[in-house]
């Protein structure tokens, strides 16, 4: 097959041409916007990931040009490759919306919803997913499953209660480190990520499990409870690192670097994995060459605190009574300036 062969695919009626072997999800990402299915377990940098969380389910209403029959079931778009002439429905299919709502509900029934005390809050994919696709209330009236917190190594903490079993960290352990030290134990809803005999993770790249974790199950112990992410300011920086690319995001609060993470793209996937020295050991400005502030999407909660002044909605400005109720907030805003 010639290399320049392109498959014509349409997603929610928007045509796109992609190389054979591309998955539906990646084809949708080429189009961008709100027709991109959400993905909680798929991670383009990790081989074999995806297919597990079922949030990216889409309907294939036309299989291909040769075989136009629709696929009988909804398919996981992250693991289904496109065919020439394929027609995919994502947000235009009520069936998909309904199934996705179901998946979000399932993911949340055993999640502790402890966002107010969770370090991931503000950059949590499950929060975003629940906000965009979930219901406002829950129909689950039983006790949620809980686990004890476990330290894996001296820098990473595992809080299994929040885990959605996406297996991303297992793939990191498998693919970035030479010796796999953790995996999944147990079965069904008793399954847990574990290091078996609580073996410490001491590999140079083990810290990346924190970055790939879509929820607050794996957190950075050097950052735990230091600050909310939306009070910190992300700054791009790099350093000459012998083990990794050294390209990172520094999260500042005032003069202090609170934490270091890899740079993440718009789908929350890291651009390049970084080593533990960059992540945990080098936390002063003098270690880094600053490139400039990181672009944060306007819709992200992280950007919310970064406006120079408080900009209340017009209705507040016009109404004296509302100004009175917001008095405290106005005063706080003044202090910040």
Partner 1 sequence: MARKLLLTHIDVPGINTFEVYRQKGGYRAVEKALKTLTPDEVVEEVKKSGLRGRGGAGFPTGMKWSFLAKPEGVPRYLVCNADESEPGTFKDRYLMTHIPHALIEGMIIASYALGANTSYIYVRGEMMPQVRILERAIAEAKNAGFLGKNILGRGYDLELYVQPGGGAYICGEETALLESLEGKRGNPRIKPPFPAVSGLYNCPTVVNNVESIAATVPIINEGAEEYAKIGIERSTGTKLISASGNLNKPGVYEIELGLPVEEFIYSDEYCGGIANGKRLKAVVAGGSSVPILPANLILKTLKGESRLMTYESLADGGFQSGTMMGSGGFIAFDEDQCVVRNTWNFTRFYHHESCGQCSPCREGTGWMEKVLHRIEFGHGSFSDIDLLVDVSKKIEGNTICPLGDAAAWPVASAIRHFRDEFEWHITSGQEAQRRNYGLAHYADPLEPVAS
CA distance readout (Å), 107 to 55, 116, 330 = 9, 18, 38
Q: What is the DSSP string of 113-141?
A: --GGG-TTTTS-HHHHHHHHHS-SS----
Q: Which residue has the tokens 């718009």?
A: 266
Least distance to partner 1, CB of residue 54, Å: 5
Q: Between 52 and 228, whose beta carbon lies closer to partner 1?
A: 52
Phi-psi region at 48: left, alpha or beta (left = phi > 0; alpha = psi -120 to 50)? left
In the complex, least distance from residue 191 CB atom to partner 1, rounded to whole angstroms: 4
- Minimum CB–partner distance for residue 82 and partner 1 (Å): 13
Distance separating alpha carbons of residues 316 and 179, to the nearest angstrom: 58
User: Of 107 and 152, which has the nearer Cβ to partner 1?
Assistant: 107
DSSP state of 159: -
**Between 57 and 118, CB nearer to partner 1:** 57
Encoded tokens for 37: 């299915």
Q: Which is nearer to partner 1, 103 or 244 (CB)?
A: 103
Which one, 96 or 270, has the nearer CB to partner 1? 96
Rounded to a whole number of angstroms, the minimum distance from the CB of residue 76 to partner 1 is: 7
* Three-state DSSP class for residue 198: coil
CB of residue 64 to partner 1, shortest distance in Å? 14
Q: How far is the CB of 293 from partner 1 (least distance, A)?
A: 36
C-alpha closest to that of 258 among 289, 280, 239, 288: 280
Task: Name the residue nearer to partner 1 (CB basis): 22 or 55.
Answer: 55
CB of 155 to partner 1, least distance (A): 27
156, 207 in Cβ contact below 8 A?
Answer: yes
Q: Which residue, 131 or 140, is less far from partner 1 as judged by CB?
A: 140
**Burial (0-12, 13-18, 19+ Cβ within 10 Å), 34:** exposed
E-strand stretches of 14-127? 14-18, 57-62, 75-76, 87-89
Q: In terms of CB distance, is 100 or 155 closer to partner 1?
A: 100
For partner 1, give the closer residue by CB, 127 or 282. 127
DSSP state of 81: B
At closest approach, how far in Å is the CB of 38 from partner 1? Answer: 13
The count of C-alpha atoms lying within 13 angstroms of the C-alpha of 90, restricted to the half-sphere facing its C-beta, is 27
Q: Which string of b and e fits 86-120 if b means at least 16 CB within 10 Å?
A: bbbbbbebeebeebbeebbbebbbbbeeebeebbb
CB of 5 to partner 1, least distance (A): 20
User: Which is it for the CA torsion 304, 309, 310, 311, positive or negative?
Assistant: negative
Q: Where on the chain is the footprint of partner 1 (CB under 8 A)? A: 50-55, 57, 73-74, 76, 79, 99, 102-103, 105-107, 109-110, 139-140, 142, 164-165, 167, 183-184, 186-191
């Amino acid at each position: 097959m010639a290399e320049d062969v392109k498959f014509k695919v349409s997603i929610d009626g928007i045509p796109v041409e992609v190389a054979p072997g591309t998955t539906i999800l990646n084809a949708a990402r080429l189009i961008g916007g709100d027709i991109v299915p959400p993905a909680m377990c798929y991670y383009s940098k990790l081989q074999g990931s995806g297919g597990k969380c079922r949030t990216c389910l889409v309907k294939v209403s036309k299989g291909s040009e040769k075989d136009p029959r629709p696929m009988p079931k909804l398919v996981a778009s992250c693991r289904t490759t496109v065919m020439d002439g394929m027609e995919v429905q994502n947000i235009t299919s009520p069936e998909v919306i309904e199934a996705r709502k179901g998946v979000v509900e399932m993911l949340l029934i055993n999640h502790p919803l402890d966002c107010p005390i969770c370090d991931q809050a503000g950059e949590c994919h499950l929060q975003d997913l629940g906000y965009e696709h979930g219901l406002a209330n829950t129909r689950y009236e039983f006790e949620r499953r809980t686990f004890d917190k476990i330290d894996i190594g001296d820098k990473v903490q595992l809080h299994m209660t929040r885990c959605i079993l996406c297996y991303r960290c297992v793939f990191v352990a498998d693919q970035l480190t030479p010796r796999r030290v953790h995996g999944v134990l147990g079965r069904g809803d008793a399954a847990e990520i574990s290091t078996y005999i609580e073996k410490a993770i001491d590999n140079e790249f083990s810290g990346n499990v924190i970055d790939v974790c879509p929820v607050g199950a794996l957190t950075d112990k050097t950052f735990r409870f230091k600050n909310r992410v939306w009070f910190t300011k992300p700054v791009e920086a790099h350093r000459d690192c012998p083990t990794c690319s050294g390209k990172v995001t520094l999260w500042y609060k005032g003069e202090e670097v609170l934490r270091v993470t890899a740079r993440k793209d718009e789908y929350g996937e890291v651009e390049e994995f970084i080593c533990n020295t960059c992540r945990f050991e080098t936390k002063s400005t003098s270690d880094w060459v600053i490139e400039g502030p990181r672009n944060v999407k306007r819709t992200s909660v992280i950007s919310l605190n970064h406006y120079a002044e408080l900009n209340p909605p017009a209705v507040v400005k016009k109404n004296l009574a509302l100004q009175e109720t917001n008095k405290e907030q106005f005063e706080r805003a003044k202090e910040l300036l």
